[in-house]
Structure 1
Amino acid sequence: MTPDLLEAGAQRLATHEAAARHATESGGRQAGFARPAVPGEVDVTHGRILYLEDVSVSFDGFKAIDRLSLDIAPGELRCVIGPNGAGKTTMMDIITGKTRPDAGTVYFGSTIDLLRHTEPQIAELGIGRKFQKPTVYEQLTVYENLELSLRTDKGVAASMRFRIDSAQADRLAEVLHTIHLADAVTRQAGTLSHGQKQWLEIGMLLMQQPRLLLLDEPVAGMTDEETVRTAELFLSLKGRHSLMVVEHDMSFIRRISDIVTVLCDGSVLAQGTLDEVQADERVIEVYLGR
C-alpha cells in the first residue's frame, strides 16, 4: 500500500473539484476537472451504446429470450424489471458473452459485434457486470481491492514489478470518493456492511473504466440509508457511464430512472416512465398485481 500517493491523489481530486465548483458557479465550463479517459473509444454514431435486435435463445426447448429488441443511449441509466423467469439474467449473459443466442444481433456501439467476442474480450471492450451477491477479496483492505482492479498487465513478472503511479493514485482516490468509502480505505473488506461491499465491488468495476455497467439487483439486502446512497451513486455515474440496472425495488427505481423496460417471457412487454409502465394493464397483470 502507498498511502502517500493515495493522499496526494485525494488532495489533487479535492483541488480539481474545487475548480469545477468555481467554474460552475461562475457560469463557465468545468475546465481543469478532467475525468479519466476511458480506454478504447466506442463508436456511437447511431446514438446507441448497446443495441439488441431480434435476439432469441432456447434451453432444452424453453425459449428464455424471444426476439428481444432493446437499445440504450450513451450515458443513459436504464432500469429493467419483470417477473422471475422473464429473461433478465439471460439477457445480461448474452450481452457479456456468457451465453450465445440462437439468433439475433448484439452490438456495442455502432460497430462492435459482441457475438464475435469472448467474455474476457467483452470486458476489455468496456462492459462491466455486477452480480447480485457482492464478490470482494474479504481478507484485503478496501484500498487493496481497488488496486488489484486497476487496468494493468496482470502477468506474473509485471505484477512483481508493479508500483502505483500518480495518475493511478488519482484514479483510485476518485473512485473511493465516488463509492463513499474514502474513510474506510484501510479496513478489511470482510468487515464492511453488505451495502459497503456492494459499493466496493462497483468501485472495482469502475477501476476498469467501463463504458457500460450491468448491475443485477444492486440494492437487495441494503438498509434504507444504503439504498438512498446507492441511488445517489448511480445518478453520479449517469452520463459518464451507461448503466443497465435490473431491480425489483420500485421506490429505488423511481429515484434513479427516466425510462423503465419491462421484460416478460423473454421479450419487451412495455417501456416508458415508471408511472407509464405501472399503469399498463399488461404489466399489472403479469408483474405488479393489483
Structure 2
Amino acid sequence: MNDMLKNREPFDIEGHADYGTSYARPKQEGVDTTHGAILYLEDITVSFDGFKALNKLTLDISVGELRCIIGPNGAGKTTMMDVITGKTRPTSGTAFFGQTMDLTTMAEYQIAHAGIGRKFQRPTVFEQHTVFENLELAMKMDKRVKPTLFFKLTSEQKGRIDDILKLVRLNGQEHRLAGLLSHGQKQWLEIGMLLMQEPQLLLLDEPVAGMSDAETARTAELLNELRGKHSIMVVEHDMAFVTEIARDGKVTVLHEGSVLAEGGMQQVQADERVIEVYLGR
C-alpha cells in the first residue's frame, strides 16, 4: 500500500469533515460561496480551428444543487466539463468556482485540489486492488513521501471509508478486487473515490451508461442522497433517469455550444425547440 501511495499527488490535509455515523457535507477552505453560487460560467467560448464547441455559454450552479445537463451529441457538454476542470482553456469568457477562484487561470491538479471532482463515462478504478484499497488510495490526506512511509489508517479514517462503502452500496464488497465488480459497481466505486477527496462540486458524465435497470435505479437513489451535501452536475442522455433525479430542480439543455433552454423537467420537455433538436416527437 505504501508503494502505491508514494506516486499519488499530495493533498492538503486541512479541513477534514467529520463523517461520523452519517454522511456529512465536507467542509472546504478557500471557496467563497457567500453569494450562493458554487460555479459561475459567463460567455464561455471555445473555438477549435474556427468551430465553436462552446458559444458564449453562460450558466451557474447553486451551492447544494443537483443540475442535469442534457442535449444532443456535439452540443458542447463534454467541452464544458473540460473547461471547468482545466483540461481545455476557453478562447474567451470567465469561469469561477465560488466567488474568487478563476478556473481559467488554474491547472487541472489545482482545480481538483480546490474541490471539483469529475467522473468520466467509463469508470477508472484500480482493478488489481480491493474496493477498500481503492477508497484508501483516493482519501484526501498528505501523500508526500515521508508521511506516506509511516502511514497507518486511523479509526476515524476507517470509519469514513465504511461510511462511503455504505453510501455507494458496496458494503460487504470491501475485500473484493475492483476488477471483479459489475460495471455498475465500478461506477459506484469511482463515485466513492471522488467522495473520499471531499469535493464540493461533482461532475458526473453519463453515470448510468451501460447499467442495468436495477443499477440505474440504485444510482438515482445515491445521487438523491448526495443532493444538498454536494453541488452536482450530471450530464446524461437517459431521460427516465434524468426525470428521477431532476425532481424540482433545473434542467439545462445545450445545443450548438449554448444554453437552448433551462427550467423544470416538464417545462423543458414541453419546449418546442428542445423537442425539435433533441427529444423528438
Gaps of 5+ in 1: 2-11, 18-33
- Classify the secondary structure of the residue corresponding to 2:208: coil
Q: State whether residues 39 and 97 of structure 2, in contact with CA within 8 Å, keep that contact through their aligned partners in structure 1.
A: yes
The 3 A distance-change label for structure 1 pair 245 and 111 is same
Q: Greater helix share, 1 or 2?
A: 1
- What amino acid does structure 2 have at the position aligned with 1:274? M
Greater CA deviation, 34-43 or 264-273?
Answer: 34-43
User: Which one of 27, 34, 53 corresponds to residue 38 of structure 1?
Assistant: 27
Q: State whether residues 40 and 95 of structure 2, in contact with CA within 8 Å, keep that contact through their aligned partners in structure 1.
A: yes
| Structure 1 stretches of 4+ moved >4 Å | none
Distance 1:171 1:113 in 2: 31
Q: Kindly provide the CA deviation profile for residues 67-98 of structure 1, in whole angstroms up to 9, marking residues without a partner as x.
A: 00000100000000000000000000000000
**Correspondences of 1:11-22 after superposition (within 5 Å):** 16-17=21-22
Distance 1:252 1:287 in 2: 16
Q: State whether residues 121 and 206 of structure 2, in contact with CA within 8 Å, keep that contact through their aligned partners in structure 1.
A: yes
The residue that corresponds to 2:66 in the other structure is 77
The 3 A distance-change label for structure 1 pair 242 and 36 is closer
Q: What CA RMSD, in Å, does the superposition of the two structures yield over aligned residues? A: 1.6
Q: Kindly provide the CA deviation profile for residues 32-61 of structure 1, in whole angstroms up to 9, marking residues without a partner as x.
A: xx8364232521121100000011010011
Greater CA deviation, 184-193 or 109-118?
Answer: 109-118
The residue that corresponds to 1:223 in the other structure is 212
The residue that corresponds to 1:284 in the other structure is 275
Distance 1:16 1:92 in 2: 33
Query: Which protein shows a greater Rg?
Result: 1
Pairs aligned (count):
263
- Classify the secondary structure of the residue corresponding to 1:49: strand
Distance 1:281 1:127 in 2: 34
- Classify the secondary structure of the residue corresponding to 1:57: strand
**Correspondences of 1:1-290 after superposition (within 5 Å):** 16-17=21-22, 35=24, 37-257=26-246, 258-290=249-281
Q: State whether residues 86 and 106 of structure 2, in contact with CA within 8 Å, keep that contact through their aligned partners in structure 1.
A: yes
Q: State whether residues 25 and 229 of structure 2, in contact with CA within 8 Å, keep that contact through their aligned partners in structure 1.
A: no
- What amino acid does structure 1 have at the position aligned with 2:93? G
Greater CA deviation, 41-50 or 201-210?
Answer: 41-50
| TM-score normalized with structure 2 length | 0.90
Gaps of 5+ in 2: 2-17
- What amino acid does structure 2 have at the position aligned with 1:116? T
| TM-score normalized with structure 1 length | 0.88
Identity value in percent:
63
- Classify the secondary structure of the residue corresponding to 1:182: coil
Distance 2:55 2:129 in 1: 43
- What amino acid does structure 1 have at the position aligned with 2:182? S
Q: State whether residues 36 and 171 of structure 1, in contact with CA within 8 Å, keep that contact through their aligned partners in structure 2.
A: no
Q: Kindly provide the CA deviation profile for residues 244-275 of structure 1, in whole angstroms up to 9, marking residues without a partner as x.
A: 00000000001101210000000000001111
Distance 1:212 1:285 in 2: 32
